[in-house]
Amino acid sequence: MLMTIIGICIGLMAFLLKQILAVLGDAKWTKARQLVTESLLKSWGWTAGISVIFVLLSSILVVFVHPPAGGSGVPETITFLNGIVIHQTLSLRNFIVKFASVVFAVSSGLPSSIQGPIISLGGIVGSGVGQFQSKSLGFQPKCFSRFRNAEDRRTFTTAGVAAGVAAAFNAPIGGLLFAMEDLSSHWNRKLSWQTFFCCCISVSVANSFNSAFDRFKWQGSFGLFSLWVAEPTQVNILLLIPAIILGLIGGVLGAIFTRLNVAIIELRKFLFGKIKNLNLQRLVQIIEPCIIVLIMTIFVILMPSAFKCTQNSGLDQNETSILARQCNLTVSGALYGRAFGLAILDIYTSRTGHQYPIDSYWEWIDPGAIAMLGAGSLLGGVTRLCLAVTMIIVEMSQDIDFVIPVMISIWSAKVVADQLALPLYKFMLNIKSLPYLDAEAEVVIDNEIVNLELYKASHIMASSPKTIHSVESLSTLARLLLGTKHGGFPVVKYDEVTKTDICYGLITRNELYIVMCCDDVYNEEQIGKTVTPTIEWEKISVDYLTDPSAMEERVRTYTKFDQYRNIYVNLEQFIDKSCTKVDQEYSVHRVYTLFRTLGLRHLVVIDCWNSVVGIITRKDLMNYHLNERLSLVESSWKVEEQITNTSNEDKGDNSAYQILPAVTISRIEEETEETSRKNTISSVDEEADGKDRKDENGNAKSPAKEGEMKESFQVVTEVKMRSNNRAKGNEEAVSDEREKSDS
């Protein structure tokens, strides 16, 4: 039911947006057409004046009323779906200001469109309707309260984003794929059909009302969809060659567009940072778009008079006119795509002498169809969304025959652009310093991508986190909140078996502030008692504090007076006992996947005894932090390896000790004494037999054999001497240690 309501609301929003833009556009251009017959300068003056007024209204709303409404809002929406709540991103005030600002900005003639902001607007509608409450209006009924949790809120927001894209491009499947491919960090089968149903409702409602009204005037054709059916076209395999070429062009241009966009944004941030006066900075922010719109009116009104107008042949009117009504990127891509198509048509005409293809084999040479490939290539080069952009282009053009060439063109653009620049939205996330976690972490050390399965959670966690017990004094909790900036604290409980504190749960910083500022706790008559506050779930499960400065001041009073040391608070009912915990031996790769998929904010790390040894937050999983920590781990491993190799080399030099590596000093002494005793006995026996002992052949004993015997006796003697020296050294070391211990 809620998905149906979300689809209807977003469809009506898209209808209102289109009708208001049409009314303001007529008011602007009707008068301009009348004045152009009298004087071109008068027409430019009227257009420039009304455009500046629209820009001023749009800028003032953002600069003075609600600054978070500036921009498209897509990076903030992506970050929210990734697990981070940004203040005022999904508020009703943000929706109203962004809607009005977009209307005036587009009507003024600025190079902007509704496709980006409608993604954010759809997310706001999905979040608000899905929660079925409004804190701004004080509307919070009991019905649908079971959906007021973080998981369901992200689900409804995802559906709202997809429905907004579907209504903007008239592409329900494209909206579904857009949310699945780029925005949402978690996905399942149930969410797929719910989102697709919401997209279909949104497109149906928008088309039904747009067919019945034209500039808010009743046309009497409610529900009559504007469906254009293209004639079947035989697609030749030769069309893949222009598709690949346009894909390469679109990838290069998309990367250039992205880098120029980012460079301009960084330049603006640098220049605005030089302005220290806040009022002057706001004035510059208002004047800047006014200058841009004046330049745009010069291009629109005065420049066309320098060129001679020619009538369109009408060959490619269908596809090009449909694409021209969409966002600026598709129009820009369609321009060079159509130019490329006209070049191919000129080649065909010069070869055959026919102005248009008359054979079905060459029917694909259509500048309008090739313009569609160019539009998809540039859009794919900027967004890098193959599936979503393919379906959006096909659904906009309503020509399914070109789905394969469009897909090849977009894929080629993505491959080229990935080698030159990041996607536009990823750049925007980096510029705004939003802690977004990619689908997979890529950590590069020494120009190699490391395998995160080889590293443990203990390598990246924050060790020795601040912990609290389920019952703590007010002064202890106050000092903890005022002395740290952590967003959550592990709760421990004393275990009688292990005689240590074990992990019991987690409590967030906002929850502690709300508990400590309630009336049950802030009472000096509770001295020496344990207070158990009574707070409703809706009041404590908030994303941000309404008045943080006042709450901080009240908490500060708990540290000023001694009586609050004897007032204890029972936090049992506010502890999240089902918080996610992992062992310290858990691999970093699985920690990253778990953290991103569940949209966590804190991940408690425990040891084999269930004791808290660390905590992992989103900052610990950012690429720069992973690079830093894992580089230190790699360095320590290399040092240990060098020490091990050095010790092995030292052992290899002492050959006498290497012969008997597992034999003790006493054993060496016994063996050497036994060998010496045997040699002595054998030499005595030989003397008794006679010094002129003969060998088996009757010859005298060889002097060489006597030398070998003497040499072996010398080796044994040397081993004995070395062992004695080593034993003597050990005894001296032991005696030194005993003297030190005695002293």
Q: Return d(Cα 170, Cα 176) in angstroms, integer.
A: 12
Query: 342: burial class by Cβ within 10 Å (0-12, 13-18, 19+)?
Result: middle
Angle at 32 between CA 29 and CA 33, to 5 degrees: 90
- Please name the helix (run of DSSP H) or strand (run of DSSP E) that holds residue 167, with its range, or none: helix 150-169
Kindly report which listed range (120-134, 242-256, 654-668) carries the lowest average pLDDT score.
654-668
* Residue 244 predicted with pLDDT over 90: yes
Q: Return d(Cα 86, Cα 581) in angstroms, integer.
A: 25
CB 523 within 8 A of CB 582: no
Q: Return d(Cα 540, Cα 324) in angstroms, integer.
A: 50
* pLDDT at residue 61 in the model: 93
pLDDT above 70: percentage of residues in the chain:
82
* Residue 80 predicted with pLDDT over 60: yes
* pLDDT at residue 582 in the model: 94
Tell me the per-residue pLDDT of 91-104, one tens digit each, with 9 for 90 and over: 889 999 999 999 99
The amino acid present at 266, given as its one-letter code, is E
CB 102 within 8 A of CB 17: yes
* Residue 670 predicted with pLDDT over 60: no
* Residue 232 predicted with pLDDT over 70: no
pLDDT range class, residue 739, cuts 50, 70, 90: very low
Closest to 90 measured CA to CA, from 126, 124, 65, 118: 124
pLDDT above 90: percentage of residues in the chain:
29
- Tell me how crowded residue 81 is: count the other CB atoms within 10 A of its CB: 23
Tell me the per-residue pLDDT of 264-283, one tens digit each, with 9 for 90 and over: 989 988 888 888 888 999 99
DSSP-assigned letter for residue 461:
S
Rounded mean pLDDT, 708-720: 45
3-state secondary structure 205-228: HHHHHHHHEECCEECCCCCCCCCC
In the three-class reduction of DSSP (H, G, I as helix; E, B as strand; rest coil), residue 487 is classed as coil
CB 343 within 8 A of CB 374: no
Kindly report which listed range (52-61, 159-168, 688-697) carries the lowest average pLDDT score.
688-697
Average pLDDT of the chain to the nearest whole number = 81
Tell me the per-residue pLDDT of 109-126, one tens digit each, with 9 for 90 and over: 888 888 889 999 999 999
Rounded mean pLDDT, 403-419: 92
| Phi, psi (rounded to 5 degrees) for 310 | -125, 155
Q: Give pTM, 2 decimals.
A: 0.77
Report in angstroms the alpha-carbon separations of 366 from 95, 341, 356, 491, 548. 42, 6, 9, 68, 63
Kindly report which listed range (30-39, 162-171, 596-605) carries the lowest average pLDDT score.
30-39
pLDDT range class, residue 675, cuts 50, 70, 90: low
Q: Return d(Cα 503, Cα 576) in angstroms, integer.
A: 11
In the three-class reduction of DSSP (H, G, I as helix; E, B as strand; rest coil), residue 577 is classed as coil
* pLDDT at residue 547 in the model: 82
CB 121 within 8 A of CB 157: no
Angle at 328 between CA 324 and CA 331, to 5 degrees: 40
CB 513 within 8 A of CB 551: yes
* Architecture of the domain delimited by 2-137+145-227: Orthogonal Bundle (1.10)
Rounded mean pLDDT, 567-588: 91
Both tokens assigned to 205 = 């409602």
Q: Return d(Cα 624, Cα 620) in angstroms, integer.
A: 9
Query: 549: burial class by Cβ within 10 Å (0-12, 13-18, 19+)?
Result: exposed
List, as one string, the DSSP characters of 696-730: TTSPBPPHHHHHHHHHHHHHHHHHHHHHHHHHHHH
CB 353 within 8 A of CB 402: no
Both tokens assigned to 166 = 């579907």
* pLDDT at residue 8 in the model: 93
> What is the CATH code of the structural domain delimited by 452-635?
3.10.580.10
* Residue 359 predicted with pLDDT over 80: no
* pLDDT at residue 228 in the model: 59
pLDDT range class, residue 681, cuts 50, 70, 90: very low
Both tokens assigned to 615 = 């905590």
The amino acid present at 338, given as its one-letter code, is R
Tell me the per-residue pLDDT of 317-335, one tens digit each, with 9 for 90 and over: 444 444 444 556 667 788 8
pLDDT range class, residue 674, cuts 50, 70, 90: low
Domain residue spans of the chain: 2-137+145-227, 265-292+316-431, 452-635, 662-688+702-742
Both tokens assigned to 287 = 């004047």
- Tell me how crowded residue 17 is: count the other CB atoms within 10 A of its CB: 21
